[in-house]
Amino acid sequence: MAKPARTRRDRVRTVAGRRYEDVDELVRRSLPVPPEREERSDGGLTVQLLPHYLAAGSLPAFRVGDEVELAPAIYADAHLPAVSGRDRCTVDEFGCADARGTIVAAPLEPGACDCVVDVLDVGGRLFPLNWAGTRPASGRLWVEGALYWEPELDAGTPHGDAVTLCRRRFRVREVRRYVRTAHVPHSPVTLEGLPDPDEVAEDAVHVADLRALDEVAAPTAALAEADRRG
């Protein structure tokens, strides 16, 4: 799966030889500082629309106000074992996300091969994972990266069939285009829908604000179904 855009973030340096009694403090000093974001209560998400998919016409055409169905995926730029805190997923206006949840495996061809798609279960909300680096062991994780629309996970595709439980219906609330300078998006422009392929520039960041229309399944039901299919 493709790699989405990221905004630049400051990193904190670990002090060599220092012993931390507080595990949370060790996590804070060892990885990028989690962004300060508020968890949305309206079922809303912002997903990145990657330029090469837009230029190739890989995403289904839609306009603001339309209903769409997709499995929002997380490009995991950084991850750690989640040592504390409740399951949650927060996303900013650029589609940059951080989440805590439990990894489950969705097999591509149940019973036929060992191929799987990793999925993060965040309190019943299921997000396919695309790892930037080494795939971690299973378990409960904190993940930071970007939330994006991955057409390889749409219905009717091999990966899409594996992540059926991750797919949900959304209403498109807004589509925006940002100019990216030094990795930082700015100067938002509101669009009526997807841009034409020949209008897509590599230095632009396109995002769509979505509002969920489906009820979230209970976490236990989602996990049980994933285990059954595995």
Written as six digits, the tokens of 68 are 């769409």
Residue 29 domain-assigned (yes or no): no
Structural domain containing residue 70 = 43-229
Locate all alpha helices (DSSP H) within the chain, ordered by sequence. Answer: 23-30, 51-56, 158-162, 219-229
Residues (pLDDT < 50) of the chain are: 7-37, 112, 218-224, 226-227, 229-230
Beta pairing partners, 127: 120
Residue 157 domain-assigned (yes or no): yes
User: Burial letters for 126-163: b for 16+ Cβ neighbours within 10 Å, e otherwise?
Assistant: bbbbbbeeeebeeeebbbbbbbbbbbbbbeeeebbebb
Residue 171 domain-assigned (yes or no): yes
**What secondary structure, in 3-state letters, does 182-226 show?**
CCEEEEEEEECECCCHHHCCCCEEEEEEEEECCCCCCHHHHHHHH
Residue 143 domain-assigned (yes or no): yes
Residue 139 domain-assigned (yes or no): yes
Distance in angstroms (rounded) separating the CA atoms of residues 67 and 124:
22
Residue 31 domain-assigned (yes or no): no
Residue 156 domain-assigned (yes or no): yes
Residue 97 domain-assigned (yes or no): yes
The per-residue pLDDT for 40 is 57
The per-residue pLDDT for 14 is 32
Distance in angstroms (rounded) separating the CA atoms of residues 1 and 191:
26
* pLDDT tens, position by position, 65-75: 999 999 999 99
* pLDDT tens, position by position, 204-221: 999 999 999 976 554 444
Contact between residue 179 and residue 148 where contact means Cβ atoms under 8 Å apart: no
The per-residue pLDDT for 27 is 41
Number of domains within the chain: 1
Closest CA to 4 of 210, 184, 148, 202: 148
Distance in angstroms (rounded) separating the CA atoms of residues 62 and 97:
23
